[in-house]
Each structure stands twice: as C-alpha cells, then as structure tokens.
Amino acid sequence: MSTPLDSDLLRTFLAVADAGNLTRAATSIGRTQSAVSMQLKKLEDMLGDPLFERHSRGVVPTAQGLRLVDNARRIVALLDDTAASMRLPALDGTVRIGISEEYINSTLPKALGAFAAVHPGVEVTVQQGVSMSNVNALAAGEIDIAVVFEPGGPTRNEVLMVDPTVWVTSDQHEAHHRRPLPIATYTYLSGGWCDELGRKSLKDRGIDSRVAYASRTSNGLIAAVVSGLAIAPLSRSAIPAGCRELTEEDGFGVIDFSNVVLRTRPGRRSQTIDAMADAIRSAFTAGSHQQS
C-alpha cells in the first residue's frame, strides 16, 4: 500500500515552486532552508522521482514537478476551503459583482469557487462590462463590488494588482513584422485611452500602422491576435496561449501601467459583501504570485 501524501509536504513543494529558490521559499513559510530541503527529499522519495532541477540561480520544476504543481494547488486549496468553511458561520443574502472581461474567466472563477465552498447559501450575480460601466453601476446601486481598471499611479482606491498594457503578437504568425503594421483596436476612431496610448507608442517609435480589426471587447482583440490578423494592446495578464508580449527587444515595449482596483458600493456594507471582497483579494494575490 502506497504512503499517502502529506499536505505539509505539498505546501513546502508549492512554496519552492513559486519562489524558485530554497532560501526565499524557507522565508515565506517560516522554516529553515535545511528543513525545506529535507521535506523536498522526503516528498521525492515518496513519489520516486526528482521534482526540481538545481541550478546556480535556484531551482526549476522537472517534468514530474510540473505535473504535481496543479494537483498540489487543488489539494491545498480544497483543504484550506474546507477548514475555512468549518470555522466560519455560513452567510446568506446576495452580492452583485461587476468585473472587466479580462478576469471573467481567470481570476473570478477562483474567487467564486472559494467563496461558494464557504458560503453556499449566498446568491451571487456577475455583470461583465468595461470599467466605466461598472463604476456607473456601482454609483447607481446596481452592483455591490466592482473590479475595474484605473490609470497607473497614486489612487485612493484599493489596488489589487498593477497590470501593464502591452502589444501582443501570435507566435505562429508574427504579424508585428508586417508594414504598415496591422493593429487591432477598440474603435476605428481613437476615442479610448487604450487606443490613444497604443497609437502614440507606435508613433513615438516611428512605426507606420493601419487598423486591421476593430472590436468593442478585449476578446475580439484576442481573436485578431490569435488568428494572425493583427497585433493588439492587451493586459499582460490576458495574453492567450500561443501568443507573446512584444518587448523592447522587438522594438515595442510597455504601452501603459494600469491599476486593477477593488471598489465597493458606498453606504452598503455587509458581512456577505466583505467576505466576497476578501475572496476576490485572495484570488488576485494568488494569481500575482503565480505570474511572478
């Protein structure tokens, strides 16, 4: 009979995988480096395969290590959700969320899953929309929580993460080599901050461009990039598989830095709304750790 996996070993494994360095991982979980090394060796002995390759700058997961990462995250998350659900009183009521489409299929499901595990009796509704519409809905009392973009820099609102806007191209099609450069924008006429800053970044670099695709949504821009029709300005966190950011080495660079902020409806606070806000914060924190 095989030895069951220890969740403590999995937590140590994830700390090392996220940090890429035994010393930083040990600091993050409050253990000594030697204790971390011993736990990793114990886990590797149990599984019968090395989980990390050692390099001068740190460690990187092996193929088996990469296989374990996703499963370990699910196991640890399930244990944490279960513990939380047993400790906290279950809430009820309703909570309404407005969020930009960049996070509707990535960060939000993690927040909703964690929240539902603890508070299954709460009725949750989600409104997808651009930042301005969500801000207006919040002011009108139509939603309770909004996750929106703001220009980078100082803000009075709670910043969940800083998400740069960058030019993105398809690895397969490499549309960024064409001239005039085909670009995808939100409108044919430069009317939004993303379009204006994107066009300005190209003009400042002396790159001649043409609008090859216009869409009202970032999903439309993603479709244009994936198909090889154009390059597009996208949030770094929204870069799809098979595509990559165009960096200074490519002759492009970051267009702008945006704050992703959490705002709640003024004058309507409740335990349910606060709990959902906490779940959203945790989901963005976990996501930023995985990207770093």
221 contacts 186 by C-beta, under 8 angstroms: yes
Confidence band for 276, pLDDT divided at 50, 70 and 90? very high
Mean pLDDT over residues 54-79, rounded? 87
Residues composing the chain: 292
Task: Give CA–CA dist 195/209, Å, rounded.
Answer: 12
Confidence band for 82, pLDDT divided at 50, 70 and 90? confident
Return the pLDDT at 113. Answer: 86
The one-letter amino acid code at 132 reads M
Which is nearest to 181 in space by CA: 193, 162, 166, 167? 167
Peptide bond into 180 cis (omega under 30): yes
Confidence band for 288, pLDDT divided at 50, 70 and 90? low
Return the pLDDT at 140. Answer: 92
- Weakest-pLDDT range from 132-141, 147-156, 193-202: 193-202
Confidence band for 36, pLDDT divided at 50, 70 and 90? very high
Mean pLDDT over residues 158-166, rounded? 91
Side-chain-side CA neighbours of residue 75 (13 Å): 15
List beta partners, residue 262: 147, 158
Q: What is the pLDDT of residues 170-208, one digit of tens each?
A: 999 999 999 999 999 987 544 456 677 888 899 999 999
Task: Please tell me whether the overall predicted TM-score, pTM, comes out greater than 0.85 for this model.
Answer: no
Let me know how many helices (H) and strands (E) the chain has, helices first. Answer: 9, 11
Segments of 93-174 assigned E as strands: 94-99, 123-128, 145-151, 158-170
For residue 257, count other CB atoms closer than 10 A to its CB: 13
Sign of the four-CA dihedral 4, 6, 7, 11: negative
Which is nearest to 34 in space by CA: 23, 42, 43, 47? 23
List beta partners, residue 231: 183
147 phi, psi to nearest 5 deg: -110, 110
Mean pLDDT over residues 212-233, rounded? 91
253 contacts 201 by C-beta, under 8 angstroms: yes
Collapsing DSSP states into helix, strand and coil, what is residue 182? strand
Task: Give CA–CA dist 262/161, Å, rounded.
Answer: 10
Q: Name residues whose C-beta falls within 8 Å of residue 15's C-beta, 6 or more positions apart in sequence.
A: 25, 26, 28, 29, 36
206: left (phi over 0), alpha (psi -120 to 50) or beta: left
Return the pLDDT at 70. Answer: 86
Q: Which two tokens stand for residue 259?
A: 């704050």
Average pLDDT in the chain: 87
